[in-house]
Amino acid sequence: MRHKGALLRNPTGLLFSRAPAGTRRPKALTPFLAPSEVLSYVASMGYTAAMRRSIAGKLNTGATAAILLVLVAGLGVAAWHSGLLPIRLRQDGLYGGGNAPPGTASPGTLIDRPKLYLPAPKNIKPGFVRVTRVIDGDTIVVAEDMHVRLIGVDTEELGKDKIDPQSRAWQAALWVQSRLEGDAQVKLQYDAERKDKYDRTLAYVILTDGSMLNDLLLQQGWARTMKIAPNTKYASHFAELELEARDQRLGRWAE
């Protein structure tokens, strides 16, 4: 014969004191209950057992602690799914605050790399070519899929398939897109060599207002100088622009 104070192990693995003789056992948990319903059910079972022991003057402290843990866990699950926690997993798979707008990502979170296409300009000016897409801060695509690498400047590299939307590399690419999208056409000027080892066209990119995109990237601090002979026509000028941006802590030099 078992001792009157023997313990019973219920299907959840929690230990509770044996219920008084004649007490009906609760029905087995159905596998179709939601996690929050299971937690609630288990907590109610434990609470009932603990109350009975309390009334008898024999409160099981271990069981009471287990009940409190189950209740806290249940509240945590409910808060997580309802988005009440400061950080939660959204349906798009990105971690963000409970009130974060769709599509935003916390720093360091990688997302699929978007393609930065540009709208066609209304009229192409003589000597200009249409820009169709921005690859990154120092490379654009013009005309019939011609990849143009800007001479004398270098921006941080983007990932091939995934990017960090908070990175300086992506910010530089977005800046170039915003600068071109109003009138996506440019004039190309060349130096001693017109092609690099990747078969990209090397050029100084002139905008419709007469400014040079190579200059602007350095002035805004999104690029650093990259001197590669024999294309060094503006090397000294570019170095001065980089130094000014550094002094003003612009773009990539802000930190």
Q: CB within 8 A of 207, min separation 6: which ones?
A: 179, 180, 183, 186, 213
Question: Do 128 and 185 touch, CB atoms closer than 8 A?
Answer: yes
The answer to whether the CB of 151 falls within 8 A of the CB of 211 is: no
Sequence-separated (6 or more) residues with CB below 8 Å from residue 41: 29, 33
- DSSP per-residue codes, 7-18: EEE-TTS-EEEP
How many other β-carbons are positioned within 10 Å of the β-carbon of residue 131?
26
Separation CA 175–CA 167 (nearest Å): 12
What residue type is assigned to position 101 of the chain? P
Of the residues 149, 168, 224, 252, which is catalytic? 149
Closest CA to 85 of 71, 96, 101: 96
Q: Which of 157, 193, 240, 244 is catalytic?
A: 157
The catalytic residue among 18, 52, 200, 246 is 200
Q: Which phi and psi (to 5°) does residue 164 adopt?
A: -95, 110
Q: Mark whether 88 is an active-site residue.
A: no
Q: Which DSSP state fits 93? A: S
CA 168 to CA 249: how far, in whole Å? 13
Our answer to whether residue 37 is catalytic in this structure is no
Query: In whole angstroms, what is the distance from residue 218 CA to residue 153 CA?
Result: 7
Residues with catalytic roles: 149, 157, 200
